[in-house]
Chains A and B, each alone.
Chain A
Amino acid sequence: MNALKVLGGRGLREAWRTPDALLPTLLIPLFFLVVNVGQAARIFPTDTTPFLRGQSYAAFQLPATILLAASFGTAALYLVEEIENGYFDKIRATPVSRTSIALGRLIAEPIKIAIMTIVIVLIAIPFGVSVSSGIIGLILLVILAAGWATGYAAFLQFVALKTRSAAATNSAGLVFFPLLFLTPNFVPRDLLTEPMEIAATFNPVTYVMESMRSLILEPLNWANVAPGFLVVSVFVVAMLAINVQVVRSYD
Chain B
Amino acid sequence: MAQGEVFGFLGPNGAGKSTTVRMLTTLTTISGGSAQVVGIDVASDPDGVRRKIGVALQEVGLDPRQSGREILILQARLFGLSHAEATARARELLELVELTDSADRRTKTYSGGMKRRLDLASALVHRPEVLFLDEPTTGLDPASRLVVWEEVRRINQLGVTVFLTTQYLEEADQLCSRLAIIDGGTIVREGTPASLKADLKAKRGDGIEPTLDDVFLDVTGRGRERGAGEVREVQ
Chain B residues whose C-beta falls within 8 Å of the C-beta of A94 in the assembled complex: 50, 75, 78-79
CB-based contact A10/B66 at 8 Å = yes
By beta carbon, the residue of chain B nearest A18 is B65
B109 within 8 Å of A (CB atoms):
no
A interface residues (Cβ-Cβ under 8 A, vs B)? 2-3, 6-7, 10, 13-14, 17-18, 78, 81-82, 84-96, 251
Number of B residues with CB within 8 Å of any CB on chain A: 30
Q: Cα distance A61–B79 when bound, in Å?
A: 47
Can you list 12 A-B contacts (CB < 8 A)?
A: A2-B80, A10-B63, A10-B70, A14-B63, A82-B63, A86-B58, A87-B63, A89-B57, A89-B59, A93-B27, A95-B47, A95-B51
B34 at the interface (CB under 8 A from A): no
A74 → chain B closest CB, angstroms:
12
A217 to chain B, nearest CB (A): 40
Q: Quote the shortest CB–CB distance from A89 to chain B (angstroms).
A: 5
Is B29 interfacial (CB-CB < 8 Å)?
A: yes
Q: Which residues of B are found within 8 Å of A89, using beta-carbon distances? A: 27, 55, 57, 59, 61
* Contact status B77-A6, CB under 8 Å: yes
The 6 A-B residue pairs with the shortest CB-CB distance, nearest first, are A86-B59, A86-B61, A90-B61, A94-B78, A95-B50, A95-B47
**Within the complex, what minimum Cβ distance (angstroms) separates A144 from chain B?**
29
Chain A interface mostly: helix
Q: Is the CB of B57 within 8 A of A6?
A: no
Q: Quick check: A93 and B62 within 8 Å, CB to CB? A: no
CA distance A54 to B58 in the complex (A): 63
Using known A-B contacts A10-B74, A94-B78, determine if residue A86 contacts B57 with beta carbons closer than 8 Å.
Answer: yes
Q: Which residues of B contact A (CB under 8 A)?
A: 25-29, 47-48, 50-51, 53, 55, 57-66, 70, 74-75, 77-80, 106, 122
Chain A residues with CB below 8 A from B62, complex form: 85, 87, 90
Nearest-Cβ distance from residue B190 to partner chain A, whole angstroms: 26
A93 touches B26 (CB 8 A): yes
For residue A3, which residues in chain B have a CB less than 8 angstroms away from its CB? 77-78
A96 to B122, CA, bound (A): 16
- Contact (Cβ within 8 A) A96 B78: yes
Tell me whether A85 and B60 are in contact (CB under 8 A): yes
**A88–B60 Cα gap in the complex (Å)?**
11
Query: Complex Cα distance A91/B106, Å?
Result: 18
Complex interface: chain A residues within 8 A of B50 (CB): 93-95
Q: Which residues of A contact B74 (CB under 8 A)?
A: 6-7, 10
Closest B residue to A17 by beta carbon equals: B65
Specify which chain A residues have a CB less than 8 angstroms from the CB of B65 in the assembled complex: 13-14, 17-18, 78
Specify which chain A residues have a CB less than 8 angstroms from the CB of B25 in the assembled complex.
93
Q: What chain B residues lie within 8 Å of A17 (beta carbons)?
A: 65, 106
Known A2-B77, A13-B66, A17-B65; judge A92-B59 contact (CB<8 A): no
* A85, B66: Cα distance in complex, Å: 14
With A10-B66, A85-B62, A251-B29 known as contacts, the answer to whether A90 contacts B80 (CB < 8 A) is no
Q: How far is the CA of A13 from the CA of B64 in the complex (A)?
A: 12
Q: Known contacts A13-B66, A14-B65; decide if A86 and B27 are in contact (CB<8 Å).
A: no
In the bound complex, residues from chain B placing their C-beta under 8 Å from that of A13 are 65-66, 70
Chain A residues whose CB sits within 8 angstroms of the CB of B122 once the complex forms: 90
Q: How far is the CB of B127 from chain A (nearest CB, A)?
A: 14
Whole-angstrom CA separation of A93 from B134 in the bound complex: 14
Q: Which residues of chain B are near A91, meaning CB under 8 Å? A: 78
Closest residue of chain B to A250, judged by CB? B27
- Complex contacts, A92 vs chain B, CB 8 Å: 26-27
* A93, closest chain B residue (CB): B55
Partner pick for B79 among A82, A86, A95, CB 8 A cutoff: A95
> Which residues in A have their C-beta under 8 angstroms from that of B47?
95
Chain B nearest CB from A96 CB (Å) reads 5
